[in-house]
Structure 1
Amino acid sequence: MIPSFLDYETLRLIWWLFLGVLLIGFAIMDGFDLGVGTLLPFIGRTDSERRVMINSIGPVWEGNQVWLILGGGAIFAAFPAIYSAAFSGFYIAMFLTLVGLIMRPVGFDYRNKVSDPLWRTCWDWALFVGGFVPSLIFGVAFGNLLQGVPFRLDDTLRVYYEGSFFGLLNPLGLLCGVLSVTMLAAQGAAYLNIKTEGVLQQRARTVGRVMTLVALALFILAGLWVASGVQGYAISSPVVGDGPSNPLLKTVVRETGSWMANYGKYPWMIAVPLVGIFAALAAALLVSVSPGIAFIANSLFIASVVATCGVSMFPFLMPSSLDPASSLTAYDATSSAFTLFVMLIATLIFLPIILAYTSFVFRVLRGKVTAEYVARNSKSLY
């Protein structure tokens, strides 16, 4: 029995919020894994340094990937229409992402099996691909969501995608992709700043500061671009928050600047991007003073970037550039109220357990990974 205070509209808003939390959790936690992989061939100049980088994330990367599984599961169960449209339309992009993610465990496990320099160099670049490609594609996907995805729904709500993979590689999509790569590379550098020492730590600080400032500049540029040159979406018909999950029951219009409308309607939302700007500046300034606080500030910047996209588009989740009325929103692309309620109960039980276990793991594994430690345990570590 669903409590009276949890009506259908409230459950939909809660799951919109939970989806954002899961995406932010993935970007922050798995983001530093991807960032370390992206930086591996460039910051690590010797085999010893690269082994230190790999072993800094070796014990935690699998646990961090739980956030990706949770996010995908939440979309599948709470927003099945989004799952259907995204995984059919972005099929090639998803395939390349999975290939990149598969390169990580294979690279971790096989790199140290043979001591040949060429062998290890090949796996180092495989780990780079495993960090760079997913980071790029996730950003490109967000850039295309802001512009609208070329799909439509027929009268039976079947999805028809009429775009191409190369159509995703448009200027704004690529800008957001580069923003994602630099942002997560900065997160990886911030993590290495905590876990390493000596010359490797100094390189991580330098690269992290540069990447953070570049990501901040790209974030501001993308915001100005979206505000002045991108046609957003707005619902022109009455919004029925507790209505049926049928996207075709609404009317949608497109106009430049529509993504900025929520900031006028809800002025407090402007705090979301502003927090990100100040967090990025703080991360760049504190990288040599307090690595831990710099990592937190960089994490807050990442959260702000993802949240800015979410609040700007609300209630849209996947707008359609072919047929705006087919656009999927938080109000018409969800599962039933009972499904959302059952999932809410499960989330309230298991999410705190995951957070507690994650905190425990990082507390147990606190401390720096040194070249001497890796050398002493060369047979048991990556």
Structure 2
Amino acid sequence: MSSIPLDYETLRLIWWVLLGVLLIGFAVMGGRDMGVGTLLPFAAKTDEERRILLNLIGPTWEGNQVWLVLGGGAIFAAFPPLYAVSFSGFYLAMLVILLALILRPVGFKFRGKIDNPTWRAVWDWCLFIGGFVPALIMGVAVGNVLLGAPFHFDDTMRIFYTGNFFQLLMPFALLCGLVSVGMISAQGAAVIAGRTQGAMAERARMFGLYAAAGTLVLFALGGFWVAFMSGHVVTSVIDPAAPINPLAKSVELVQGGWMLNYSKYPWMVIAPILAFVGLVVAVLGFIGRKHVITLLATSAAIFGIISTAGVSLFPFLLPSSTVPGSGLTLWDASSSHLTLFIMLVATVIFLPIIVAYTAWVFRVMRGPVTADNLTKNPNAY
């Protein structure tokens, strides 16, 4: 592979970063939609207000799902063992997420078909489920990654997952789920407060204030919990350029092991600092009605929260709670050198196009959404 201009280790690190970028992209862009959906039954009190919220996210939510598709595709192509373990072991959790997400397009299409309060209320709660449940389960999944998933490989590299759905619902994982719900609710509230008017904007501002403050407290509690949690530490020498083999390393559980990266790589502390600063600025922004600053702050907080989990785990992608040596790291769960390079070339070409058309769409759809927009637009929900 001498003809490939980037060495294997560098490509693996690049794809670790890119995977984080894609997941954060979905959390920020898809989080605004899930956040608005989560707040739909509470921030909007009348049918007209709920229609305003639907038209706030309706034109763009489908495009925002591109980040989720890209993230799943990147895991499949760049880290096949991670895809095999996580998508099979967490199958029921993934199914719950997908079923909840399916309610969103159905809700958008069918809510306005019948002018009946009960009919519309049912679909409003379906849209709430489509926002709340995926955010909760995704946060729970991250919590379980930090705890370690119950899987192992045998000598023939067959995967054995020994857990079940209800074992995912452990206290720490549920705490992470609440952090996830809180951060996307704050994101959704920032969008509503900035692009609507009147009482609904004020209600959204108050919900956003509570969500950002609650997320700040929960994130601090989670950080304290992680500091005393047993983390996975690779104790054998790793050759980053070696072919993948998850069983070729030795791993030990060390109390506070997930905090060791911050002493080895001090720059990683930027991630939790960004999360705390973003949440504090978001709280102040909601109080001061600084809508643009608040939206930027909630987005920065999401970036910091997810990055904190990623850098704390490094180099692990999915630790094993039952057989620590079977845990998947960046160095033993990636695709081949050539595959990673070809994927990088495609990403360099197409990711800027995705960012460009996303920016164009949001520029076209900018501005407040009001009741007048509903009467003037025949395609309004």
How many angstroms does 1:376 deviate by? 3.6
Q: String of CA shifts for 1:139-189, please: whole Å, max 9, x gaps.
A: 000000001000001112121100010000000010000111111011000
Per the alignment, residue 131 of structure 2 pairs with 131
Q: With structure 2 as the length reference, what TM-score do the two structures score?
A: 0.98
| 1:2-17 pair list within 5 angstroms | 5-17=5-17
Q: Which residue of 2 aligns with 1:30?
A: 30
Aligned mates of 2:78, 2:326 — CA distance in 1: 18
**Any conservation in 1 of the 2:172–2:222 contact (CA below 8 Å)?**
yes
- The residue type equivalent to 1:53 in the other structure is L
Aligned 8 A contact 2:4 2:341 in 1: no
- Is the 8 Å Cα contact of residues 139 and 176 (structure 2) preserved in structure 1? yes
Cα distance in structure 2, aligned partners of 1:88 and 1:289: 45
Counterpart AA for 2:361 = V
1:121 match = 121
Q: 1:2 touches 1:338 (CA, 8 Å); kept in 2?
A: no
Residue 274 of structure 1 pairs with residue 286 of structure 2: no
- 5 Å-filtered alignment, 1:280-359, equals 280-287=279-286, 288-359=288-359
Structure 2 contact 4–338 (Cα < 8 Å) conserved: no
1:52-67 → structure 2 map (5 Å cutoff): 52-67=52-67
SS at match of 2:260: helix
Matched residues in 1 for 2:120 and 2:375: separation?
16
Letter aligned with residue 369 of structure 1: V
Q: Could you give the per-residue CA deviations for residues 339-376 of structure 1, whole angstroms, max 9, x where no partner exists?
A: 00000000000000000110000001111110122134
How far apart are 1:4 and its partner, in Å? 5.6
Which residue in 2 is equivalent to 1:164? 164
1:9-34 CA distances to partner (integer Å, 9 max, x unpaired)? 11100000000000100000000100
Residue number in structure 2 paired with 1:255:
254
Counterparts of 2:158 and 2:301 in 1: how far apart (Å)?
Answer: 38
Q: Secondary structure at the match of 1:152?
A: strand
Larger mean Cα displacement after TM superposition, 277-286 or 334-343: 277-286
Post-superposition offset of 1:5: 4.9
- Deviation per CA, 1:195-239: give whole Å up to 9, x if none: 1111111111111111001011111100100111x2100000001
Which one-letter code corresponds to 1:247 in the other structure?
P
Matches of residues 140-219 of structure 1 in structure 2 within 5 Å? 140-219=140-219
* Structure 2: stretches of 5+ with no match in the other structure: none
Equivalent positions of 1:229-268 (< 5 A) are 230-268=229-267
Which residue identity does 2:205 align to in structure 1? R
Mean CA deviation greater in 198-207 or 301-310? 198-207
Instruction: Give the Cα–Cα distance (whole angstroms) in 2 for the partners of residues 169 and 162 of structure 1.
Output: 15
What secondary structure does 2:247 align onto?
A: helix
> SS of 1:149's equivalent?
coil
Percent identity among equivalent residues?
55
Aligned positions, number: 380
SS in 1 for 2:184: helix
d(CA) in 2 for partners of 1:319, 1:264: 20
Partner residue in 1 for 2:42: 42
